[in-house]
A and B are shown apart, each in its own frame.
Chain A
Amino acid sequence: MTDQSVAAVSLTGVDKTFDAGRAGAVTALSGIDLAVAPGEFVSLIGPSGCGKSTLMRLVADLERPSAGTISVFGKSAHQARLDQDYGIAFQAAGLLPWRSVRANVELPLQVHGMGRAGRAARADELLELVGLAEFAGHRPDQLSGGMQQRVAIARALAERPRLLLMDEPFGALDEMTRERMQGELVRLSTQTGCAVIFVTHSIPEAVYLSDRVVVMSPRPGRISAVVPIELSDRNEDTREEPGFFAAVTAVREALRARASVELS
């Protein structure tokens, strides 16, 4: 059903300048060209303030670009948002504390007018998918940080999006939980076949998850390198394979190369 020739996301010559009041204007992004294929997993990595979140928010149509064009499945980002073509998750799980876990997952479906029975069925299916079926009736504050983030991911998948936008979703989790969540995310993205744009600070995380790692540099935010990751399969042992270390080194060098240009 999906047209494989149309990119999931395509940015061409995108600039984003924020009007920062008396401090003048902040150029958050400059000359961004990027295409993400359907089903492709792309991570954005780079130092704080290099515009990773801004890039993701532009794709989500939560910000408008100052220049350039953005298309999502061949439509404008705005139309894609209206059509619910993407699911989104942030570093803060952002669950509504007065709603049960199930009702949180139902929120997007409820906003889009799905009936009660359909919502409940879909929510149960999603909670099953993220392994939280028995917590459906719990309140978010009864769940650990990792479980809350899984609820947020289930919620992001509610509308069966073909694109998932994630801004440091595991940033607040401990290392062990984080690795487990990465494994689950790989499984979910293969299972659902959706493209993912994943913002992270962690090089191993980017390498483990991605088909391609987009390395960004600050002031102004640019794409300084794109590192393709060629790992055959992701499993428990992937993080100990030589290919994994080689890819980590490649990304680290791409980040450092940029940093040394800055210092010189």
Chain B
Amino acid sequence: MVRLRSVLYGGAALAVILLLWEGYKLVGSPQGWSVNEVRLLPRADDSSMPHVWTVAERFTQPEISAEGSSSVLVAVLRAAWFSFRISLAGWLGGVLVGVALAVLMQRFRTARDALLPYVVISQTVPLVAIAPVVVGWGGQLAVLGQPWQPWMSVAVISGYLAFFPVAVGMLRGLDSPGPAQIALMQAYAASWWQTLVRLRLPASVGHLVPALRLAAAASVIGTIVAEISTGTRGGIGRLIIEYAQAATGDPARPWTAIAGAAALGLVVAALVSALDLALARFNPAGA
């Protein structure tokens, strides 16, 4: 029943956002609101903030006026699907690397001392700085005899953002068993591997699930930003830029791409929730 309620709350939150949008359009000034030339509130006119229903209608219309052009909905869905697959690849890679790093850091004190600072520092490097590096290195690699694809660079950057919460959360989870539980495994003369499998891994699920959620959000954002900064075509990131360039003549169109990106985030969040349910057995307290 928790699920039904969160779906209801999620729907209510969406309705509130749409109402606020329309509400602001009703009361807000078309010129926005500025103090000393600094605009503090956005313009409420139809070209800056098209009506919700205008945007919805725009989805059903052809993308461009050319003959045989598919509808905006199809274009957005296609781009979102492209980005979704990259996000999934980035997320999976990030989770694998994050878990592996956490296990390594739990096992070896020296690995923890050596790696943990870099794990933290890695996240302070701006995406726009690593994007060209990844593209440059990738261009010299071949994976299983196949040349490096642009989407692979995007997935790597997405994974780069996703591994961090997993590594940190998983390490905390692996460290979470109390001294009595550790002593118990020692008393059983359990090997490191047995202690990992029987105690530390199941104990870490409560910490892992929120980390997987953060990683999912990071991988989606990473994918969209990386698509833009590497100039990769086909995804929702690129579509946002393309549609934004058409904003003057077609103000509703950029919002369709943005709505698509938001929907992508929601779908990914829902998938992680499903994973959460699957792992609930290990997590009696609930994450």
Do A and B belong to a common assembly? yes
Number of residue pairs spanning A and B whose beta carbons lie under 8 angstroms apart: 53
Contact A88 B205 (CB under 8 A): no
**Residue in A60, A98, A111 whose beta carbon sits within 8 Å of that of B284 in the complex:** A98
Across-interface contacts of A139 in B (CB, < 8 A):
284
**How many Å lie between the Cα of A92 and that of B281 in the bound state?**
22
Contact B284 A97 (CB under 8 A): yes
**Contacts A98-B282, A98-B283, A139-B284 known; A111 to B190 CB distance under 8 Å?**
yes
B27 within 8 A of A: no
**Contacts A82-B189, A98-B282, A98-B283 known; A88 to B184 CB distance under 8 Å?**
yes
B187 within 8 A of A: yes
CB distance from B101 to the nearest CB of A (A): 24
CB distance from A113 to the nearest CB of B (A): 10
- For the residues of B in contact with A, the DSSP-based class is helix
A108 within 8 A of B: yes
**How many Å lie between the Cα of A82 and that of B188 in the bound state?**
7
Closest to B184 in A: A94
Interface size, A (range): 20 to 34
**How many Å lie between the Cα of A195 and that of B123 in the bound state?**
56
**Contacts A88-B184, A111-B185 known; A97 to B285 CB distance under 8 Å?**
yes
Contact A94 B181 (CB under 8 A): yes
Residues of A63-105 at the interface with B, using a CB-CB cut-off of 8 Å, are 81-82, 84, 86, 88, 90-92, 94, 96-98
**Residue in A82, A94, A108 whose beta carbon sits within 8 Å of that of B178 in the complex:** A94
Contact A81 B187 (CB under 8 A): yes
Contact A60 B205 (CB under 8 A): no
CB distance from B137 to the nearest CB of A (A): 42
A112 within 8 A of B: yes
**How many Å lie between the Cα of A97 and that of B283 in the bound state?**
8
B66 within 8 A of A: no
Interface size, B (range): 20 to 34
Closest to A139 in B: B284
**How many Å lie between the Cα of A98 and that of B280 in the bound state?**
9
Contact B284 A88 (CB under 8 A): no
**How many Å lie between the Cα of A81 and that of B284 in the bound state?**
32
**How many Å lie between the Cα of A57 and that of B189 in the bound state?**
14
Q: Per-residue CB proximity of B165-205 to A under 8 Å, as 1/0?
A: 00000000000001011011111111000100011001101
Contact A92 B178 (CB under 8 A): yes
Closest to B282 in A: A98
Closest to A81 in B: B189
A188 within 8 A of B: no
Contact B188 A108 (CB under 8 A): yes
A110 within 8 A of B: yes
**How many Å lie between the Cα of A88 and that of B189 in the bound state?**
12
Extra A-B contacts (13), CB below 8 Å, given A60-B187, A94-B180? A60-B183, A62-B183, A62-B187, A81-B189, A84-B188, A88-B184, A91-B180, A94-B181, A96-B199, A98-B282, A107-B188, A108-B188, A111-B189
Complex A-B: 20 CB contacts under 8 Å: A62-B183, A62-B187, A81-B186, A84-B188, A88-B184, A91-B180, A94-B178, A94-B180, A96-B181, A97-B284, A98-B202, A98-B203, A98-B281, A98-B284, A107-B198, A111-B185, A111-B198, A112-B188, A139-B284, A141-B284
